[in-house]
């Protein structure tokens, strides 16, 4: 995340569920960030799943809303995998990020193994 420099890999609001989740993280936790990769091609879409080891938490002003604060999660990249979305949705490690239709669930963070 170039917005925050350093080893930032994700951001969360400092309120509500996001705040609680950020505060529960412990040094050394494994974090997986899932996102789409590029446009839809031939009716398919790829996703990138990047794994990080959590190394710290910083509170900063949001670049988009300077009057609101956010948590910036820092970590070390452990690995990165790019898969077809339909394959990722069936993958033993990544299926929990997807709903029954194979689309990303509408949540920022999921806890647990």
Domain that holds residue 56: 8-97
Tell me whether residue 62 is in a domain.
Answer: yes
Q: Read off the pTM.
A: 0.85
Q: What pLDDT shows up at residue 7?
A: 95
Tell me whether residue 103 is in a domain.
Answer: no
Tell me whether residue 106 is in a domain.
Answer: no
In this prediction, residues 83-109 reach a mean pLDDT of 90
pLDDT (tens digit per residue) in 6-48 = 899 999 999 999 999 999 999 999 999 999 998 877 778 899 9
pLDDT (tens digit per residue) in 53-88 = 999 999 999 888 878 999 999 999 999 999 999 999
Number of independent structural domains in the chain: 1
Tell me whether residue 26 is in a domain.
Answer: yes
As given in the structure block, the two tokens for residue 17 are 């569920």
Residue 71 CB coordination number (10 Å): 19
DSSP character at residue 89: H
Tell me whether residue 77 is in a domain.
Answer: yes
* Integer angstrom CA distances of residue 10 from 42, 63, 72, 85, 95: 30, 14, 6, 21, 20
């Amino acid at each position: 995340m170039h917005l925050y420099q350093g080893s930032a890999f994700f951001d969360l609001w400092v309120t509500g569920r996001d705040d609680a989740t950020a505060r529960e993280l412990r040094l050394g936790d494994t974090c997986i960030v899932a996102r789409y990769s590029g446009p839809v091609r031939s009716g398919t879409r790829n996703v990138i799943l990047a794994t990080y080891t959590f190394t710290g938490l910083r509170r900063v002003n949001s670049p988009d809303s300077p009057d609101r604060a956010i948590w910036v999660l820092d970590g070390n990249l452990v690995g990165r995998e790019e898969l077809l979305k339909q394959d990722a949705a069936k993958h033993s490690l990544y299926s929990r990020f997807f709903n029954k239709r194979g689309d990303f669930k509408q949540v920022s963070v999921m806890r647990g193994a």
